[in-house]
């Protein structure tokens, strides 16, 4: 849908007769009697939810696990395309502050190299009503430190953050771990659909790309260049773009797959006609 933003697409899909479940965990999916069946939270049993088609948007390993728990076998070519997808993890620090940190406008900084990918002022996005910042570590550092103790990760990341805080002090901090944060490769989105026993199934999400992006096998990066330097050297940093949240949007979903180490922002959708 050229020229249509994410929110407009979501609003078009969210018609009056659309049933949306929130805070529900999809545990298995399979085909029976010519329809997809999805078990949710273990409470619905085999007849919990059903539909004429299934769309999976969790990270690929979680989507495959969801289907495997239902005993679903995908077509060979579709399974091969999905199993080839791999991801880099991301470690993040969410820090609540006692005052505005005074980050350079517009409130976000990106880095081209080093252990930090970017940092942002959450109050300026705005996604927080209190002074707070988020720091995302780079893929190599996150991979090396992913299984380290939370206290060690938090202490190291707070050290990176300190030069950017001005007079602000961290009053609370939490480490977040996303095992499937960034796909290493893009898959041609045209290959990510098929059928199981004649019933349609499709996959979408971060790993699905336009054919011209998928040919090279690597994920295309944004045209925005990162900032050279390390956060311990504030003088070398430049301004980065802030991330803005579209106003007035709320999402509901069935969360797919196992939730350990993943944000749960993805899900599954059933076409119930």
| Residue-level pLDDT at 16 | 64
| Residue-level pLDDT at 170 | 93
Regions in the chain scoring below 70 on pLDDT = 1-6, 15-16, 42-47, 210-268, 270-273
Burial bucket for residue 198 (CB in 10 Å: 0-12, 13-18, 19+): exposed
| Residue-level pLDDT at 267 | 67
List, for residues 79-137, the tens digit of each pLDDT value: 999 999 999 999 999 999 999 888 887 888 889 889 999 998 888 877 777 899 999 99
| Residue-level pLDDT at 63 | 94
Which of 88, 95, 146 has its CA nearest to residue 121?
95
């Amino acid at each position: 849908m050229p020229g249509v933003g994410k929110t407009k697409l979501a609003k078009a899909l969210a018609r009056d007769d659309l049933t949306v479940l929130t805070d529900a965990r999809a545990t298995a999916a399979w085909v029976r009697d010519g329809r997809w069946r999805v078990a949710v939270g273990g409470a619905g049993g085999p007849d919990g939810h059903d539909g004429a088609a299934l769309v999976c948007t969790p990270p690929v390993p979680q989507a495959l696990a969801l289907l495997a728990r239902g005993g679903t076998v995908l077509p060979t070519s579709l399974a091969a395309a999905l199993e080839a997808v791999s991801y880099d993890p991301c470690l993040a620090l969410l820090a609540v502050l006692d005052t505005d940190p005074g980050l350079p406008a517009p409130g976000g900084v990106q880095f081209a190299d080093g252990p930090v990918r970017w940092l942002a002022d959450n109050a300026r996005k705005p996604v927080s009503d209190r002074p707070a910042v988020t720091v995302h570590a780079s893929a190599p550092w996150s991979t090396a430190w992913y299984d380290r103790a939370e206290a060690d990760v938090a202490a190291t990341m707070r050290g990176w953050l300190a030069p950017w805080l001005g007079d602000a002090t961290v009053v609370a901090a939490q480490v977040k771990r996303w095992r499937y944060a960034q796909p290493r490769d893009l898959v041609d989105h045209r290959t990510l659909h098929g059928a199981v026993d004649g019933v349609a199934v499709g996959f979408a999400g971060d790993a699905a790309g336009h054919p011209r992006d998928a040919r090279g096998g690597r994920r295309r990066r944004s045209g925005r260049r990162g900032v050279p330097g390390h956060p311990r050297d504030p003088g070398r940093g430049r301004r980065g773009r802030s991330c803005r949240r579209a106003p007035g949007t709320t999402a509901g979903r069935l969360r797919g797959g196992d939730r350990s180490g993943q944000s749960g922002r993805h899900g599954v959708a059933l076409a119930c006609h």
